[in-house]
């Protein structure tokens, strides 16, 4: 006998997923890389925390604050979107660490994949979900001190458990989602087999991905406490880790080469994972209504018009001089700014 996992299609969630923008994700990765280093103990990690804080304010979340966990370490940045049910200590978590590391971390630790990719995915999820109302409260958390041993998330979870006694419905941790090799552009959805049992959340994420996106998911029910989800698990909370295919190793991991075009080489994978994350967080939080005003139509250029221009850039910022393909996204540069283009024919 075959059992089907029934999953209701929700047009409101479909609208959210389709609002996701590769361009917006790309610019955020670029912005994060441009901090030069986001090493937790560096000055520019504090600058990055401010950048994230201001982004969350701009997206009009209900509450935005820093959580300092150790002196000299840049703080966690937390944004809360209140649910209509008014239950603030029962909530869904979406998190990513924004700090980075390399062999000379005070000088240069670009961390485009680890974890500029996850940080940018979170910013994009927040940009979109901020336009909707949900029944449940959602917390978006940018952790610091991950590379020094999950310090920021450990602090957050220990307080959540023993001081605030929060009920966390589910936590999703996004860490390293922008690297692939040919034929392996898929995501590993990693959940602990027991204490706590995270398998249902893994299956839930995969169902959302299957319903709303083209993402290929690999189900991994293993104990792999190598990122911030482990802090949630440690305090008994259900939390899973979303990352690029677990069976490939990013050769630029924790090096100066973790830049756009090096350690970060697959914008489309980040895009699909971000869409799946939007669908999962929205489904878990039960959307009620939309605040969106009618959106202005995109300006589409045709191929002939583009070919009259001389230099195009792909979403990785690389110059493309010929072989422009239908349906792909390219950019023009004007006064050092990228301008979006979508090619029709
Ligand atoms: Zn990481």
Spacing, Cα 115 to ligand 1 middle (Å): 5
Neighbours of 11 (CB within 10 A): 7
Q: Say what the pTM is.
A: 0.84
Contact yes or no for 234/173 (Cβ under 8 A): no
CA nearest to 13, candidates 193, 271, 230, 278: 278
Letter string b/e over residues 264-290, b meaning 16 or more CB atoms within 10 A of that residue's CB: bbbbebbbbbbbbbbbbbbbbbebeee
Nearest in space to 142 (alpha carbons), one of 223, 60, 71, 45? 45
The alpha carbon of 99 and the centre of ligand 1 are apart by a number of angstroms equal to 8
Cis geometry, peptide bond prior to residue 260 (ω within 30 degrees of 0): no
How far, in Å, is the centroid of ligand 1 from the Cα of 194?
23
Q: How far is the CA of 299 from the centre of ligand 1 (A)?
A: 37
> What whole-number distance in Å separates Cα of residue 142 and Cα of residue 76?
6
Residue with tokens 């959805």: 189
CA of 228 to the centre of ligand 1 (A): 8
- Output the CA 87–ligand 1 centroid distance in Å: 31
101 Cα–ligand 1 center, Å: 9
Which domains, and CATH codes, for the chain?
Answer: 11-290 (3.40.630.10), 303-342 (no CATH)
Q: How far is the CA of 146 from the centre of ligand 1 (A)?
A: 7
Tens digits of pLDDT across the chain (345 residues): 444 444 578 889 999 999 999 999 999 999 999 999 999 999 999 999 999 999 999 999 999 999 999 999 999 999 999 999 989 999 999 999 999 999 999 999 999 999 999 999 999 999 999 999 999 999 999 999 999 999 999 999 999 999 999 999 999 999 999 999 999 999 999 999 999 999 999 999 999 999 999 999 999 999 999 999 999 999 999 999 999 999 999 999 999 999 999 999 999 999 999 999 999 999 999 998 887 644 333 445 666 666 665 577 766 667 776 677 776 666 666 655 555 666 555
Distance, CA 254 to ligand 1 centroid (Å)? Answer: 9
Strand ranges of the sheet holding 312-313, from the earlier edge strand across to the other edge: 319-320, 312-313, 329-334, 337-342
Say how many Å lie between the CA of residue 171 and the centre of ligand 1: 16
CA of 287 to the centre of ligand 1 (A): 30
Rounded to whole angstroms, the Cα distance separating 87 from 135 reads: 9
Around ion ligand 1, residues with a beta carbon closer than 5 Å are: 114-115, 175
Please give the distance, rounded to the nearest whole angstrom, from the Cα atom of residue 37 to the centre of ligand 1: 14
Phi, psi of 75 (to 5 degrees): -80, 165
Is residue 244 within 8 Å of residue 177, measured between CB atoms?
A: yes
Rounded distance from Cα 127 to ligand 1 centre (Å): 22
102 alpha carbon – ligand 1 mean position (Å): 12
Q: Give the Cα separation of 143 and 340 in Å (integer).
A: 31
The CA 226 to ligand 1 mean position distance, Å, reads 8
- Structure tokens belonging to residue 314: 């792909």
**Distance (Å) from CA 312 to ligand 1 centroid:** 32
The Å distance, Cα 97 to ligand 1 centre, comes to: 7
Distance in Å, CA 131 to ligand 1 centroid: 29
């Amino acid at each position: 006998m075959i059992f089907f996992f029934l999953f209701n299609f929700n047009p409101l969630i479909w609208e959210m997923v389709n609002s996701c923008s590769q361009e917006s994700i790309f610019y955020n990765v670029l912005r994060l890389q441009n901090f030069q280093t986001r090493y937790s103990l560096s000055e520019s990690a504090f600058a990055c925390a401010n950048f994230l804080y201001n982004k969350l304010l701009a997206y009009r979340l209900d509450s935005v604050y820093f959580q300092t966990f150790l002196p000299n370490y840049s703080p966690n940045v937390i944004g809360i979107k209140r649910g209509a049910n008014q239950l603030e200590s029962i909530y869904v978590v979406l998190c990513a660490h924004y700090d980075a590391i390399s062999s000379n971390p005070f000088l240069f630790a670009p961390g485009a994949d680890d974890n500029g990719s996850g940080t940018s995915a979170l910013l994009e999820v927040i940009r979109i979900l901020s336009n909707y109302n949900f029944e449940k409260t959602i917390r978006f958390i940018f952790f610091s001190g991950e590379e020094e041993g999950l310090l920021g998330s450990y602090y957050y979870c220990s307080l959540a458990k023993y001081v605030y006694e929060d009920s966390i419905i589910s936590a999703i941790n996004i860490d390293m989602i922008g690297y692939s090799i040919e034929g392996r552009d898929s995501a590993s959805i990693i959940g602990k087999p027991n204490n706590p049992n995270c398998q249902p959340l893994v299956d839930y994420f995969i169902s959302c991905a299957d319903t709303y996106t083209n993402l290929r998911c690999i189900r991994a029910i293993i104990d792999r406490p190598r990122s911030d989800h482990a802090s949630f698990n440690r305090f008994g909370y259900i939390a899973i880790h979303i990352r690029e295919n677990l069976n490939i190793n990013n050769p630029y991991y924790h090096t100066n080469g973790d830049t756009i075009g090096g350690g970060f080489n697959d914008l489309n994978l980040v895009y699909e994972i971000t869409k799946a994350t939007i669908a999962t967080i929205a489904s878990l939080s039960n959307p009620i209504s939309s605040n969106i005003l009618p959106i202005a139509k995109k300006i589409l250029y045709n191929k002939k018009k583009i070919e009259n221009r001389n230099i195009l850039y792909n979403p990785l910022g690389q110059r493309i001089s010929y072989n422009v393909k239908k349906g792909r996204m390219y950019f023009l540069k004007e006064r050092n700014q990228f301008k979006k283009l979508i090619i029709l024919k």
